[in-house]
Homo-oligomer: A and B are copies of this chain.
Amino acid sequence: MLKTALPCIDWLQGYSRQTFMSDLMAAIIVTIMLIPQSLAYALLAGLPAEMGLYASILPLVAYALFGTSRTLSVGPVAVVSLMTATSVGAVAQHGTADYATAAVMLALLSGVMLIGLGLLRFGFVTNFLSHPVVSGFITASGIIIALSQLRHILGIDAHGEAVPALLSSLGHHVADTNLYTLGVGLFTLGLLLFCRSKLGTLLTRAGVSRQVAGLITRAAPVLAIVLTITAAIIWDLESRGVALVGHVPSGLPVFSTPLLDWALIETLAMPAFLISLIGFVESVSVGKTLGAKRRQRISPNQELIGLGAANVASAVSGGFPVTGGFSRSVVNFDAGAETQAASLLTALGIGVAALVLTPALYFLPKATLAATIIIAVTSLIDWHIVKEAWRFSRADFTAVAATIGLTLLFGVEIGVVSGVAASIGMHLYKTSRPHFAIVGTVPGTEHYRNVLRHDVVTYPTILSLRIDESLYFANASYLEDVIYGQLAAHEEVEHVILMCPAVNEIDLSALEALEEINRRLLELDIKLHLSEVKGPVMDALQRSHFLEHLGGAVHLSHHSAIAGLVGSR
């Protein structure tokens, strides 16, 4: 019981010195990676740099206690930071105290919602976000994020939550480009690209071990930060118009209870729900992937509680919404992290950074951070799913294309809502016009097959119809249309047999449609039969009055139905 509520007990038992050494190594690498990321994602969310650091301390501790993945690295991530910027930007002016307050409130709401969903065991709601929709959404978000960071690289003032506004705003201000800022930005982009694509190979060729080479490569953003801070100090870039991070208060976050402003809560409720959903889906898919490699299972409902606790922890310590990040978790895993102790040590590392490094951050150019964001999100952009969906099915392609298109055009909130609506809508549309077949006996067997595809025996007085779908409200009226249409085409029919091996469910709307069909067939002196009805469906039918009024009978097999009706003539 306690182990379910506090999954950390599981790995704390029998924690060894060797495990500690593995976790410590991973923690050092992740800390080096997380310092620039936490600052950059705070910038992306439109928040002061220290909030990025705050969001990377307590949330990690909370997830380590309540989460079920051993290697997930929680903290600020790109897509959730972009969604934070969008939803907070709608209620408060960028850069004001209200803006920061709203971001904290967003984390709190998201945390409370996640915990609530977890306690209600509502993990299944995330199933309604289909894979292609999530992939499409993340790709589109990556594009928006990259575009939104261009302004820091150019040193101009350009805003917008979707591609058209961003492009027009960038076009409008591009003439104001600050060349020193652009220089810092391009230098960082070049450095990061070089480190990512070439450095590893060069180092291993030079005899450096693969692990050390990987560590050095991942430290590239830190290198960029050190170099550009140095440049900013030496050449006094601030006086040349390069935007710097500026004063970052030194020290650890102070606990505080977010103010309960009901109007704000009402406005942020929907965005918080979307952030929770997207954050959870992203995080769980990372957790599952990593867990599978070491045969560790994660529990979706407990994950909701773990991520919810992380967001509440972020809110009470002045942070913003967090979730499990893909790239950082993979690094954590590859660096050998075995338990969430690695996250606890990472939190310690960020805490130390918040205490001692902040004075140096004054001189950090924002263009450096923007460049690290752009490089990071290029890995999010993935057109593979679009091609795959195109090849696979029109429905999936429609859902992906709608998600990407609407996200790019109208921003993340409309994009993700439309994506979910498109997925569900396409599913309902498909099942609302189910495949059906008139079937006949394969000669000499007891098998029944589609008359259009096989050479089968039929009888003019018997219409055998196989419906390849559960019967429910979305296709109830289509069922009536199909049967009446077929009757019009087969005038001698005296018996209609619905063959139901693929009917997994009949709901009340479909039951009413069946009753109506039965009633109308009786008026026409035609008997309605069912065959091969599944157990659970039969149970449901027996709870209604349908069987009492049924003109024909329910037959165990379609063959016995045909044999009985043909024999009885």
Quick one: closest B residue to A300, CB to CB?
Answer: B477
Q: Are A427 and B472 in contact (CB under 8 A)?
A: yes
Partner of A473, one of B427, B476, B484, B511: B427
Q: A124-B433, A130-B472, A130-B508 are in contact. List 15 more A-B contacts (CB 8 A).
A: A127-B473, A127-B478, A130-B507, A130-B509, A131-B513, A132-B508, A389-B508, A391-B543, A392-B508, A393-B508, A396-B507, A427-B473, A430-B505, A431-B504, A468-B534
Partner of A427, one of B385, B434, B507, B534: B507
Q: Does A512 interact with chain B (Cβ within 8 Å)?
A: yes
Q: Which residues on B sit within 8 Å (CB–CB) of A431? A: 470, 504-505
Q: Does A157 interact with chain B (Cβ within 8 Å)?
A: no
Q: Are A508 and B131 in contact (CB under 8 A)?
A: yes
How many A residues, CB 8 Å from partner?
59
Q: Which residues on B sit within 8 Å (CB–CB) of A478? A: 124, 127
A-B contact pairs, 28 of them (CB 8 A): A124-B433, A127-B428, A128-B428, A128-B474, A129-B473, A130-B472, A130-B476, A131-B476, A131-B508, A131-B512, A132-B509, A133-B473, A292-B520, A300-B477, A388-B508, A391-B544, A392-B511, A393-B508, A393-B543, A423-B473, A424-B424, A431-B504, A431-B505, A453-B535, A468-B534, A469-B504, A502-B502, A502-B534
A39 to chain B, nearest CB (A): 34
Mask: chain A, 487-516; 1 = CB below 8 Å from B; 0 = not = 000000000000001101101110111000
A340 to chain B, nearest CB (A): 22
Q: Which residues on B sit within 8 Å (CB–CB) of A508? A: 130-132, 385, 388-389, 392-393, 396
* CA gap between A453 and B504 in the complex, in Å: 17
Q: Which residues on B sit within 8 Å (CB–CB) of A297? A: 484
Near B by CB (< 8 A), chain A positions 52-73 give none
Q: Does A90 interact with chain B (Cβ within 8 Å)?
A: no
A363 to chain B, nearest CB (A): 46
Q: Are A473 and B128 in contact (CB under 8 A)?
A: yes
Q: Which of A429, A433, A477, A536 has the most CB of B within 10 A?
A: A477
Which A residues contact B (CB, under 8 angstroms)? 124, 127-133, 292, 297, 300, 385, 388-389, 391-393, 395-396, 423-424, 427-435, 453, 468-470, 472-478, 484, 501-502, 504-505, 507-509, 511-513, 520, 534-536, 540, 543-544
Q: Are B393 and A477 in contact (CB under 8 A)?
A: no
Contact status of A504 and B474, CB under 8 A, knowing A392-B540, A544-B392: no
Name the 4 nearest CB pairs between A and B, nearest first. A130-B473, A396-B508, A131-B509, A130-B509
* CA gap between A511 and B502 in the complex, in Å: 20
Q: Which residues on B sit within 8 Å (CB–CB) of A127? A: 428, 432, 473-478
Q: Which residues on B sit within 8 Å (CB–CB) of A389? A: 508
Quick one: closest B residue to A122, CB to CB?
Answer: B429
This protein's copies in its complex: 2
Q: Which residues on B sit within 8 Å (CB–CB) of A507? A: 130, 393, 395-396, 427
Q: Are A536 and B435 in contact (CB under 8 A)?
A: yes
Q: Which residues on B sit within 8 Å (CB–CB) of A534? A: 468, 502
Partner of A428, one of B424, B434, B435, B520: B424
A45 to chain B, nearest CB (A): 29
Q: Which residues on B sit within 8 Å (CB–CB) of A535? A: 453
Quick one: closest B residue to A484, CB to CB?
Answer: B297
Q: Are A434 and B504 in contact (CB under 8 A)?
A: yes
Q: Are B429 and A124 in contact (CB under 8 A)?
A: yes
* CA gap between A535 and B392 in the complex, in Å: 15
Q: Which residues on B sit within 8 Å (CB–CB) of A292? A: 520
* CA gap between A208 and B543 in the complex, in Å: 45
Quick one: closest B residue to A478, CB to CB?
Answer: B127
A534 to chain B, nearest CB (A): 7
Quick one: closest B residue to A516, CB to CB?
Answer: B292
* CA gap between A269 and B470 in the complex, in Å: 34
Q: Which residues on B sit within 8 Å (CB–CB) of A427? A: 472-474, 507
Q: Which residues on B sit within 8 Å (CB–CB) of A509? A: 130-132, 396
* CA gap between A391 and B389 in the complex, in Å: 42
A414 to chain B, nearest CB (A): 15
Q: Which residues on B sit within 8 Å (CB–CB) of A435? A: 504, 536
Q: Which of A389, A391, A475 has the most CB of B within 10 A?
A: A391
Q: Which residues on B sit within 8 Å (CB–CB) of A469? A: 470, 504
Q: Which of A429, A473, A501 has the most CB of B within 10 A?
A: A473
Quick one: closest B residue to A472, CB to CB?
Answer: B427
Q: Are B392 and A131 in contact (CB under 8 A)?
A: no
* CA gap between A502 and B504 in the complex, in Å: 7
A287 to chain B, nearest CB (A): 12
* CA gap between A433 and B508 in the complex, in Å: 19
* CA gap between A474 and B131 in the complex, in Å: 10
Q: Which residues on B sit within 8 Å (CB–CB) of A470? A: 431, 469
Quick one: closest B residue to A124, CB to CB?
Answer: B432
* CA gap between A297 and B393 in the complex, in Å: 33
A360 to chain B, nearest CB (A): 44
* CA gap between A96 and B427 in the complex, in Å: 45
* CA gap between A369 and B314 in the complex, in Å: 60
Q: Which of A429, A502, A508, A540 has the most CB of B within 10 A?
A: A508
Q: Are A393 and B540 in contact (CB under 8 A)?
A: yes
Q: Are A468 and B504 in contact (CB under 8 A)?
A: yes
